[in-house]
Chains A and B, each alone.
Chain A
Amino acid sequence: MSELFDVNFIIGHFQYWLGIILMMTGLFVVVSRGNLVKKVVGLNVFQTSVFMLYISMGKITGGTAPIFTGNPQEVYSNPLPHVLILTAIVVGIATTALGLALIVRIREEYETIEEDNIQHLENAMQRKEDQDAGAMI
């Protein structure tokens, strides 16, 4: 049991704990909220947790910024994960923009951005189509 409550282990990995909390918060928001904008916000939180995972990976205790100083013994942070995440951030922004644009269009067509209401309208459309189909058979 004492291994489970190893304080050093818990504190030493705090960035992972934060990452997991953010990740689960984001996913939970995406799944549980009916408002489409809130879903996009949840998606952003979820993606941010992954950015944190990558960025914390590159950090080295006592490391400086990765700038060549002439001292070969210099300890510096790994810049590669940061660069990767720059790409992922750009992708995230594009996704958010596209998602919001789709929400605007959905609002124009359905006059609501609540998932339940949209589902209700779509079910009604489906029922009408099924009735039409049934009338023909």
Chain B
Amino acid sequence: MFSAPFTFAALSQHFPILQVVIPLIAAPLAVFIGVTSIAFLLAFAASITSLIISYSMLMQVIDGSVISYHIGGWAPPWGIEYRVDAANAFVLLILSAISTVVLPYAKTSIEREIRASAQTLFYTCYLLCFTGLLGMVITGDAFNVFVFLEISSLSTYVLVALGAERDKRALTAAFNYLIMGTIGATFFVIGLGLLYMMTGTLNMADLANRLPALSDNRTVQTALGFIVVGMGLKLAIYPLHLWLPNAYTYAPSAVTAFLAATATKAAIYVLLRFMFSVFAPDFTAATGALNLIILPFAVIAMFAASIIAVFQADLKKTLAYSSIAQIGYMLLGISYFSHTGITATMIHLFNHAVTKAALFMAVGAIVYQTGTSFIPKLAGLGKQMPWTSAAIVAGGLSLIGIPATAGFISKWVLISGALEKGWWWMAMLIVASSLIAVIYVWQVVETLYLKEPVGDVVVKEAPLSLLIPTWILVIASIYFGLDTELTLSSARAAADALLGTAPLAAGAGS
């Protein structure tokens, strides 16, 4: 394998490991080089390479095939296996695409938000966080998920704390996130320990083979509980969301845009993977985890978090609460326990990542120019920062789910999933909760366009280096509302992969 000539074909065999290793190696290199501009180029190059790798892997597996990569040549279940199917290739593409767009934005944004001596280290933490998220998603080994989860979490705490130069509350936000994130990760490890105790294996495909025989076993049921709660803390399921609003509000703008679009999404993928691939879907449904836990909390999140969002004075906090509500929609798709439901979750994963990143980047541009994201202080900015304000409007429309935006497609699939099950009342609830989103988006639009500016301070439009990445995502959020070929077919293939229409358990190694 290694004697093959250094060609693209030979290299492409190693794509799964390169996906994780390239950003991992770039991270310490950035520290050793120590020059901020080179660190940025390194991070950007790593991110683009990841994007190319993840796109070519998605094209390979979208037909339902599986790439199985054995690390160090050790065959699974003894060695660690990286296993790429349509579900995680799709999530990998989301992660690396968002990272590639956010990085050029981050370069300008952090120049004003983080002191110069910490900027090189910012790129290191960013790359480590990116590595951790990619690793969590790509790996086929349950314990490996925990290791990557902690790599991404630890670097996330640092990234959030970097916001302390603007507002000292970033420190307490990071500390609270550290406490809750660690409890979540430890719960997850307890769950894995119980599974290992019962099956003697940590390979996901192997676990999937052995667990059905143990479906009456209480230890296995407890393991599912620990894993759901542990991951629930990381992805901010409604009552476990307390770390999220402050962390998103006080982190540097670029970090918020990146985290909002990626961190919770990777955790949702892991939850899906465990619920439907590692544990049998029927087993998960039989424990009541879907009907009794995920469904009610998803609905509560859709309403409660949206209503709280209406009453926030800080635009970043409004968007943070709206993220919790949107996570509710993704969980709702999971709780349908149907092919359409999972498709809705996967497509909303993509659409919400694009939309929310665009919104947080637009707010970041306002913070860059005015130093504040307080809604009353944004009065009249529509004329002074026309492009940034227009981005917020377009993103807001997609958040509500207006036709011809990406958000509409997600809600459409979600509602058709509800009607498929005969849950017409659920379709009404989805529409009703979207109406609350209209309120908080309208508040912002009204302030931006209809109110007179406060004072006579002239605010200039944000620099192009912030506007271009923002508008790439805004245009994407409109484009994917019109042309759903890539997203919908990927989401369907992902749902197939997760629900076992193309089962994970079908033979280890290929």
Contacts and interface: CB of A to CB of B under 8 A. Distances in A.
Which of B175, B193, B374 has the most C-beta atoms of chain A within 10 angstroms of its own C-beta? B175
Interface stretch (A3-11, A39-47, A66-74): A39-47
Contact of A136 (B154, B174, B175, B454): B454
Contact of B161 (A57, A105, A132): A105
Interface in B394-451: none
A36 B183 contact: no
Given A87-B147, A109-B164, A133-B376, A94 B183 contact: no
A9 to B, nearest CB: 15
A38 B499 CA distance: 44
Secondary structure at the B interface, as helix, strand, loop or mixed, is helix
A130 B190 contact: no
A12 B8 CA distance: 58
Contacts of A54: 193
A106 B179 CA distance: 15
Contacts of A21: none
A118 interface: yes
Interface in B289-314: 313-314
A27 to B, nearest CB: 7
B317 to A, nearest CB: 11
A36 B175 CA distance: 9
B508 interface: no
A99 interface: yes
Interface string A27-59: 100100000100100010011001001100100
A98 B154 contact: yes
B197 interface: yes
Given A30-B183, A122-B169, A98 B193 contact: no
Contacts of B190: 50, 53
Contacts, number: 85
B374 A132 contact: yes
Contact of A105 (B171, B182, B186): B171
Interface string B116-156: 00000000000000000000000000010011001000100
Contacts of B374: 129, 132-133
A137 interface: yes
A118 B146 CA distance: 32
B377 interface: yes
Given A43-B179, A84-B143, A95-B154, A50 B171 contact: no
Contacts of B182: 43, 47, 95
Contact of A57 (B164, B175, B197, B454): B197
Interface residues of B, number: 34
A129 B313 contact: yes
Nearest to A40: B179
Contacts of A91: 147, 150, 154, 185
Contact of B375 (A50, A57, A133): A133
B189 interface: yes
A24 interface: no
A88 B189 contact: yes
Contacts of A46: 183, 186
A105 B179 contact: no
Nearest to A135: B376
A99 B180 CA distance: 12
Secondary structure at the A interface, as helix, strand, loop or mixed, is helix
Interface string B164-179: 1000110110110011
A50 B186 contact: yes
Contacts of B146: 88
A50 B189 CA distance: 8
Nearest to B144: A87
Interface in A57-113: 57, 81, 84, 87-88, 91, 94-95, 98-99, 102-103, 105-106, 109-110
A131 B204 CA distance: 53
A136 B457 CA distance: 15
A50 B193 contact: yes
B196 A81 contact: yes
B178 A136 contact: no
B376 A137 contact: yes
A18 interface: no
B193 A105 contact: no
A110 B197 contact: no
A54 B143 CA distance: 12
B376 A109 contact: no
27 contacts: A30-B179, A43-B182, A46-B183, A54-B193, A84-B143, A87-B147, A88-B146, A94-B154, A95-B150, A95-B178, A98-B157, A98-B158, A98-B178, A102-B157, A102-B174, A103-B175, A105-B161, A106-B171, A109-B164, A122-B172, A132-B374, A133-B313, A133-B376, A134-B376, A136-B379, A136-B454, A137-B376
Given A27-B183, A105-B171, 17 more contacts: A30-B179, A30-B183, A39-B179, A43-B179, A47-B182, A57-B197, A94-B154, A95-B154, A95-B178, A98-B154, A99-B175, A106-B171, A106-B172, A106-B175, A109-B164, A133-B375, A134-B376
Closest 9 CB pairs between A and B? A136-B376, A109-B168, A133-B313, A133-B376, A91-B150, A102-B175, A106-B171, A105-B171, A54-B193
